[in-house]
A and B are shown apart, each in its own frame.
Chain A
Amino acid sequence: MAGFVPAMTEWRPAATGEPRDGTIMTLTIDRNDPAIRGHADLYRREMGAKRRQALLGAAIFIACVVLSAIGSEVDLAKFAANAWRFPKYILETLPTLRLATLGADLKEWYWGLNGWLKLLWQTLLIAYVGTVLGAVGGFLLCFSAAANLGRAGWLRWTTRRFLEFCRTVPEIVFALIFVIAFGLGPLPGVLAIAIHTMGAMGKLFSEVVENIDMKPVDGLTATGAGWWQTIRFAVVPQVLSNFASYALLRFEINVRGASIMGFVGAGGIGQDLIEAIRKFYFTDVSAILLMIIVTVMLIDYGTERLRHALLSLEHRS
């Protein structure tokens, strides 16, 4: 690939641009000119340095790849010997659907539809309640985490570290701990999602707040408004549509998160899914997964439409 050289043709000015005295101007370069040589050397040196840097980077990168291949016990022989099981597994999960008995086949595939729909609805509710709780928490904390609203430094630092903790610990770890504290059921799932959402949204919200127009804040401060009044009348109107849009995006992420909460006993459709996978109820796996994927796609589509509507609302006002 390195051999590509743009085709060089001698460049001549167009006929109308030719000088009056009839001489033709060409761009011939004298390669032995010391000035040109100096430039060429400089260019070669710089490119050499760049190339060495790239090679060094590549070497470090390859070393990292090899190290992590050893660390994650990559075994190509085992992979080659067992790879056929993967397509086999996928094929086995597919139901037998015959055109002649399509209705009956579908019924057999989705034999547990009522129970699954109930669990799916529970999953959506877990995601929704978790998102609402998390969004409210993030909303309350984002103003003290923002750098431009003049809160004490220590308060800002503490809030930011707290939010960081909430979003770095994976939600399923929170769910594992909460299942023991609150007992099995959807409640630990809701709380785990709420805490994680609070961490993520608090950060996003505070970034939105840091990008606002400060003039309304100055105006309200000048009329003698208190801190909360300033927030209410100068900051919130500017950020509300952005906040709502982020909350919708987060809801979609949380639906995915809630669908696996059942793996650790924290409610939702995950408990039936993991049972089906563990007990090799192959067609159940595909039936439940298909339901989850379609739901997530629908929500993805719906929230995207809503977010566009929200953002255009802001541009109009």
Chain B
Amino acid sequence: MSLALTATERADLVRRHQGAIDGSLKTRLTTIAVVAGLLGLFLYGLTTLEVSLWKMITGIGNLGTFVVLMLPPDPGSAARAVIFVKALFETIAIAFLGTILAAILAFPLGFLAAKNVVANRVIHFLARRSLDTVRGVDALIWALIWVNVVGLGPFAGMLAIMTSDLGAFGKLYSEAIESADRKPVEGVTSSGGGKLHEIRFGLIPQVLPVIASQVLYYIESNTRSSTIIGIVGAGGIGLYLAETIRTLEWQQVSFLILLVLAAVTAIDFLSSKLRFAIIGKRAL
């Protein structure tokens, strides 16, 4: 017995299940309309943004030259290498301290913005919106503002990372607190604990692992942001990256990029180890 269909059998099958094969006309038309709309906007974008084939070709040609000039990565001199590595540590220090300070300072804000702690709707609304506003401003912009306040240098960068993370952490905390289970809190109350005891023994054990893993994640992502904060003069390796790119020292550029890659990979590795140690093998 062979499994092959004869031509008539096949035609018969196709005729019987025509509806299933074609699908509904409405879905198909919607799909076509959505794709056409997306594509149209894309093409409109390409023309408005002055993208032309000639520009692309010359640009990619230039890029090719740069890549060739980048090899092999070379800091130029041993003294430069020491400066670069020091700037890298400055970058990591900015990310670490900025995140930790934001995580600590956002704690009261998180409680303020949580619906089940502060029941007043006006305060809740105001707290949420101001956190959103702080979060909506990029760390690079905060860095520019802090440079005006405390002057150039890594201190301004640290404050910028801290400010932009305050909003994010406040939101995360308030969500973690809102979704926390009420039962442990009630348990503490029933055995005679006060309001502070409720928070310490009922809420914190529930939210701490979530918060710790989020803090670790933010340290990771802030290492990336703090590598660029130096572009506006707020310390770290970004200053040297921008400077060497502008002066076309391509070998030093590739050396710096390699340094950043190595640091980010190392921190990713460390934080994933730590995260497993804190919250176990639970997925997060």
Contacts and interface: CB of A to CB of B under 8 A. Distances in A.
A78 interface: yes
B201 A4 contact: yes
Given A75-B155, A289-B137, A7 B224 contact: no
Nearest to A6: B191
Contacts of A182: 55-56, 58-59, 62
A296 interface: yes
A1 B136 CA distance: 37
B216 interface: no
Majority secondary structure of chain A interface residues (helix, strand, loop or mixed): helix
| Of listed B62, B94, B141, residue having the most chain A CB within 10 A | B141
A85 B148 CA distance: 8
Contacts of B155: 72-75, 78-79
Given A128-B41, A289-B141, A264 B231 contact: yes
B48 A190 contact: no
Given A79-B150, A173-B257, A263-B140, A129 B46 contact: yes
A158 to B, nearest CB: 16
A67 B100 CA distance: 13
B154 A263 contact: no
A165 B257 CA distance: 10
Contacts of A256: 136, 138
Contacts of B100: 65
A293 interface: yes
A117 interface: no
Contact of A7 (B149, B191, B201): B191
B96 A64 contact: yes
B245 interface: yes
B107 interface: no
B38 A132 contact: yes
A170 B51 contact: no
Nearest to B64: A181
A183 B158 CA distance: 32
A83 interface: yes
Given A181-B63, A260-B141, A289-B141, A71 B93 contact: yes
Contacts of A292: 136-137
Given A170-B224, A181-B63, A71 B144 contact: no
B197 interface: yes
Interface string A2-13: 001011000000
A56 to B, nearest CB: 13
A73 B235 contact: yes
B138 A183 contact: no
B192 interface: yes
B154 A297 contact: no
Contacts of A264: 231, 242
Interface in A100-143: 122, 125-126, 128-129, 132
Nearest to B58: A182
Interface string A278-316: 100000000001001100110000000000000000000
Contact of B49 (A68, A75, A180, A267): A267
A129 B42 contact: yes
B224 A168 contact: yes
A83 B154 contact: no
B144 A277 contact: yes
Contacts of B191: 6-7
A71 B92 CA distance: 9
Contacts of B269: none
B157 interface: yes
Contact of B150 (A82, A178, A180, A187): A82
A187 B55 contact: yes
A89 interface: yes
B200 interface: yes
B200 A4 contact: yes
A209 interface: no
Contact of B261 (A72, A79, A169, A267): A169
B165 interface: no
B149 A165 contact: no
A196 to B, nearest CB: 10
Contacts of A83: 149
B45 interface: yes
Given A79-B155, A264-B231, A293 B137 contact: yes
Interface of B: 38, 41-42, 44-46, 48-51, 55-56, 58-60, 62-63, 66, 89-90, 92-94, 96-98, 100, 132-133, 136-138, 140-141, 144-146, 148-151, 153-155, 157-158, 191-193, 196-197, 200-201, 224-225, 227-228, 231-232, 235, 241-242, 245-246, 248, 253, 257, 260-261, 264-265
23 contacts: A1-B196, A68-B96, A70-B93, A71-B92, A71-B97, A72-B90, A72-B97, A73-B154, A73-B155, A89-B149, A122-B49, A129-B42, A129-B46, A172-B140, A173-B228, A176-B245, A177-B63, A178-B59, A180-B66, A180-B248, A183-B59, A185-B49, A187-B59
Given A1-B200, A178-B63, 12 more contacts: A6-B192, A68-B97, A72-B155, A82-B151, A128-B45, A132-B38, A168-B264, A176-B245, A185-B50, A187-B51, A187-B56, A296-B136
